[in-house]
Amino acid sequence: MYSSITARALVYDTYGEPKDVISVHKHEVHAPQGNEIVLQTLAAPINPSDINQVQGVYPSRPELTTELGTDKPSAVGGNEGLFKIVAVGDQVSNFQIGDWCIPRGVNYGTWRTHLLSTQDKFQKLDSSALTKTQAATIAVNPCTAYQMLTMYADLKKGDWFIQNGGNSQVGQYAIQIGKALGLQSISIVRDRPDIDELKQQLYDLGATKVITEKENAAREFGKTVKEWTGGKPIRLGLNCVGGENLTNMARKLGQDAVLLTYGGMSMKPVTLPTTLFIFKNLTAKGFWITENGKRDPILKEKTVEAVLDLYSKGLLKEVPVNQFKVDLESLTCKKYLETFHSALQSHGKSLIVYE
């Protein structure tokens, strides 16, 4: 028999830095009725876009409401996460207790311990084929890489793509997914003391070639790239950096290539030579997986299924994250907030795991 669950959620009622505006809201989750389901969070990451939402600078943001009983209109942070069904209403047909699932939509608010929702808002996952980390982080970075590699240029086995931010989360998934699709890749990374070690890590994931920003900027290095590709045109470029890094990368693209920009880590504009548009017929587009999901929810579901298939076949490895564990039995509001602050300060992608 289901009894009420005390839930805690990381909420904000004003925009600002997460360390300053996030607080913990405690509330009760009642028994589900009809097509309602009660979910327990298993894991939820902190993505850069999540931070930007809290700051109020991200174009897609959840509405501030008093739905959870907060004193002021508020929103729960987080867009991505893995949940387990712990109770179902008498009209629920898509889920059973114990099933894993992820939100179908965007701006759902995943930084919480439990929630009450309806079955239509979640997509079921096969818990036997995935780890918690894989499932909790499947909807953003690997799906971004998959869509960029499959939807914008008609790439065939043996074709080449080039990307900057090669060791980013999306970059590492693009390397692996590209290899699984039979594609060849050139990944650009920042120069650093341990560059050989980093290059080897990316080669181990399936990278064809890895170059530094210095090599990317060297005009004479273009000859080396042509030798690698055997003269075949590089038909797709993936940009998450911008600035001079992008300009140098774009010069390596071939005739009728597509350039996708999905980030701007350098905070510098996209600057492209006019000659690429006139003489190479370059197509430059923006990519935003959130908008793709809003425009076509079925596309998001199919992309998740495609990535799931790669995981199940052993063709995709999860990119490492920093895990911060929460013990639900002993959890207090103070402990929850302290864990969140620790995760915020971590270098790299953080994942809060609920046990």
- Do 141-291 and 5-137+321-354 fall under one CATH topology? no
For the chain, the farthest-separated pair of C-alpha atoms sits apart, in whole angstroms, at: 72
Mean pLDDT of 47-74: 95
The predicted model scores a pTM of 0.94
Q: Where are the alpha helices (DSSP H) in 218-273?
A: 221-229, 243-250
Per-residue CA distances from 273 to 179, 215, 226, 249, 283 (Å) = 30, 19, 20, 11, 12
Question: Which pLDDT value is given to residue 1?
Answer: 64
**pLDDT digits 0-9 by tens, 182-218:** 999 999 999 999 999 999 999 999 999 999 999 999 9
3-class DSSP state of 159: coil
Question: Do residues 174 and 206 touch, judged by C-beta distance below 8 A?
Answer: no
Domain ranges in the chain? 5-137+321-354, 141-291
3-class DSSP state of 139: coil
Pick the CATH number of 141-291 from 3.40.50.300, 2.60.40.10, 2.70.150.10, 3.40.50.720: 3.40.50.720
Question: Which pLDDT value is given to residue 129?
Answer: 85
Tokens matching residue 9: 């959620």
Residue 249 neighbours by CB distance under 10 Å: 24
Question: Do residues 55 and 25 touch, judged by C-beta distance below 8 A?
Answer: no
Query: Does domain 5-137+321-354 fall into CATH 3.90.180.10?
Result: yes
Question: Do residues 66 and 87 touch, judged by C-beta distance below 8 A?
Answer: no
Question: Which pLDDT value is given to residue 2?
Answer: 72
Across 82-117, b (16+ Cβ under 10 Å) vs e yields bbbbbbbbeebeebeeebbbbbbebbbbbbbbbbbb
Whose structure tokens read 């590089």?
Answer: 234
Whose structure tokens read 């050989």?
Answer: 196
Among left, alpha and beta (phi > 0; psi -120 to 50; other), residue 109 is: left
Indicate which residues carry an active-site annotation: 58
3-class DSSP state of 138: coil
